Amino acid sequence: MRLAFFLLLLVNVALYPFVSGLIAGKGDGSEPLRMASQMKPDSIRILASDGQAPVTQTAAAPDVAAAVAADTDAPALCRAFDGLSREQVDALTARIASQQLALQLSEAEQTETTAWWVHIPDMQTRQLAERKQAELRALGVREMIVMADPADSQKLAVSLGLFKTEAAAKELLATLNGQGVRSARIAPREGRAGRYRVEVRGTGPELAALFDSAPVLDETAQRTDCQ
């Protein structure tokens, strides 16, 4: 009985290395399992020579868009002209479109003195205006009319004449002064001149391409300052 016990014990001791995987049989796959139980491959990291974890450095890409914008962002310049005809303005606009120039054109119709007005201003009420008319008739003035004062819609004026030339207006004023009228005045009346002010803004090369390569403006165009 004791002999059988010792024999069984020896058999178990002999088989233990094979059962536990300490000794791998040919092609039994126990060695990879044993290695897998001892380490985790995904947790292995290779350290730098100084023992520190390597730091991944990413080169900063240059801001290409900002660099291009800085190169092309030239300061805007301006050229302005007074006294242009409608045809000249249209010619400038057409050239900008045909050459595809990056220019901004703005236009404004100019005014000029078209008449000279002889009148007596600052009549606060119609009663005062009618009283002034009576005084003028007594001095021998016959042509007059009461109307709203263009300079102040709340007031009236006694109009004595509207002239195309300043000389004609001054001649009437001298006549009125000779009749004893002292409160008459001459005021210029503004109207459309049929001429235009043009301002063109853009870079120097663009402006040169518009104005210098083949000028479309004649001597009537007056170079002036931009506003």
For residue 99, which of 217, 206, 222 has the smallest C-alpha distance?
206
Q: Give the residue extent of every domain in the chain.
A: 77-111+193-225, 113-191
Tell me what pLDDT residue 40 has. 54
**Residue with the two structure tokens 């002292």:** 182
Q: Tell which residue, 22, 25, 53, 48, has the closest CA to residue 35.
A: 22
Q: What is the pLDDT of residue 65?
A: 47
pTM, 2 dp = 0.51
| pLDDT score, position 59 | 44
User: What is the pLDDT, as a whole number, of residue 148?
Assistant: 93
Residues with pLDDT less than 70, the chain = 1-75, 213-215
Domain 113-191 has CATH 3.40.630: no
CA atoms of 217 and 207, how far apart (whole Å): 13
Question: Which CATH number fits the domain 77-111+193-225, given the four candidates 3.40.50.300, 3.30.70.120, 3.40.640.10, 2.60.40.10?
Answer: 3.30.70.120
- Contact between residue 196 and residue 86 where contact means Cβ atoms under 8 Å apart: yes
Residues 141 and 181: their CA atoms lie apart, in Å, by 9
Smallest CA-to-CA distance from 183 within 127, 117, 132, 125 is with 132
